[in-house]
Structure 1
Amino acid sequence: MTDATPIGTSSGILHVLMDIGPNVSEEEFHQWYNNEHGPSRMAIEGFKCGVRYEALDGLGPKWVATYEIDNLTVLQTEPYLSIRNNSSPEEADILKRISLIDRKIYADVLHRGQFQPVIGTILVAVRLLIPSANAKELEEWYQKEHVDMLADIPGWLRSRLFKELSSESSKTDLVQYMALHEYHSDNGLGGPKHVAASSTDWRMRIMSLAIGGPIRRDFRLYHIF
């Protein structure tokens, strides 16, 4: 999305997926991200928490960073735009060589549970593209059934639901949602309670409405800012 996209005053996240590619070593990538890129964002008032995850599913993009933000309008203020538009020579160089950066902004819809910043925490990310006419039902399903059932899974820590802010989606009759579910490294994912939460009639109906079906990715918490 572009910075011209209207951003409301709600809280939310900046969610950035990245693939390094062949022209940047992992050592160089992590040194830059952990010591320059991430800390420069976290120094801006309104950025509450920043974490990086590594994919567990063997799919790409392999790396994701998520920044929790008190008020999304901070992404249109001078302090943030300044660090985006005035990269250091080192950052400008590495950004040219990274193969993929997919940057999205999401507004909060639902938040249940508490974040426990422990390296190795498991993140399950699920994206759903839903007709706007069914958006309210999807949110009600999360609020009235799905998160309650997920919270009963051993090792569950937190579930959040977000709506993407996108100039493109506003021109269509579709809404992009993303759910982020966090679990201890020792958890009941794939067990009977997880199967039960994934098998209700209401869930089946919501999934049947999702364009292209749900897209699930599994990650492990790699770094905390």
Structure 2
Amino acid sequence: MIMQATGLIAVWLHVPPHREEEFHAWYELEHIPQVVGLDGFVSGRRYYCDDAFPKFLALYETRDESVEDSPGFQHVVTHPTPWSGRIWTFFGKDRIRQNLARLASVAHGGHPDPGAVLLRAFRAPRPLAEADGLEQGRASAEIPGCTGYRLFRQVRDPGRYLEIFDFAAPEQAAEPALAAFFDRPARRRFDDGARDVVRHVYAATGTPLVKGRGVRGAGSPG
């Protein structure tokens, strides 16, 4: 049985182009299996966006938001393997990690591993609740190719939120397909007053790892 995930650890990283080959190999061969193998972790998936900084993104689904502070994960953070220690020197301070709690999740149809995700991070003018996420999630079914929607709240900064729209392929997350959704009156009301808005589309890379299902697909490491 696959564990239900209500938490998310999102990690953004950037490495110089000449370091990317080893960076991808480290993620594929060591880091994703190491982290997803920890108690409380459900899955690990990687993405990239050439137009964003940092360029690379890893999304780890967790049992709940308490997993980030668990002894297993903290040991990985404070006791890197030799290879991890080497890779960490490549990105230095070019790393962001956020621990998030899920407020709502809506799936459309099947549950394939997303070929792309649209991430929208923002500070809301008011506290958001499950009902807000469910409304946006149901409406996202109108976006061609959208396979799911999730709304998360940052644990350490509760005024900040993260929306994730899943797509089967990167081209389905192109701006023309999104314009009608974001121009809906209900959506404009949801966005009204939002600050510090950052929105990027990330394409999948690497091979996703889901606990209980093993490695799926034949994703390339780069």
The TM-score range, normalised by the shorter chain, is 0.7 to 0.9
In 1, the alpha carbon distance for the partners of 2:89 and 2:82 equals 11
In structure 2, the CA distance between the partners of 1:130 and 1:188, relative to structure 1 (3 Å rule), is closer
Q: State the shift of 1:73 in Å.
A: 2.1
1:207 aligns with 2:199: no
In structure 2, the CA distance between the partners of 1:182 and 1:195, relative to structure 1 (3 Å rule), is same
1:108 aligns with 2:102: yes
1:18 aligns with 2:13: yes
Q: State the shift of 1:188 in Å.
A: 6.9
Q: SS in structure 1 opposite 2:52?
A: coil
- Asked if the contact 2:65/2:155 (under 8 Å) is kept, the reply is no
Q: State the shift of 1:84 in Å.
A: 1.7
Q: State the shift of 1:49 in Å.
A: 0.8
Match of 1:183 in 2: 167
| Corresponding letter in the other structure for 1:117 | D
Identity of aligned residues (%): 22
| Corresponding letter in the other structure for 2:23 | F
Q: Output the TM-score relative to the length of structure 1.
A: 0.80
- Asked if the contact 2:142/2:181 (under 8 Å) is kept, the reply is no
Greater CA radius of gyration, 1 or 2?
1
In 2, the alpha carbon distance for the partners of 1:125 and 1:103 equals 15
Structure 2 unaligned spans of 5+: 210-222
| Corresponding letter in the other structure for 1:76 | D
Q: Deviations over 1:16-36 (max 9, x none)?
A: 0000136x6111111111111
Within-5 A mapping of 1:1-225: 11-21=6-16, 25-56=19-50, 58-99=51-92, 100-113=94-107, 115-117=111-113, 121-131=115-125, 134-136=126-128, 140-144=131-135, 146-166=136-156, 169=157, 175-185=159-169, 187=172, 189-191=174-176, 194-212=178-196, 214-223=197-206, 224-225=208-209
In structure 2, the CA distance between the partners of 1:31 and 1:197, relative to structure 1 (3 Å rule), is same
- Asked if the contact 2:64/2:101 (under 8 Å) is kept, the reply is no
Q: State the shift of 1:158 in Å.
A: 1.0
Q: State the shift of 1:11 in Å.
A: 2.3
Q: Output the TM-score relative to the length of structure 2.
A: 0.81
- State how many pairs are aligned: 200
Structure 1 unaligned spans of 5+: 1-9
- Asked if the contact 2:48/2:204 (under 8 Å) is kept, the reply is yes
In 2, the alpha carbon distance for the partners of 1:59 and 1:188 equals 15
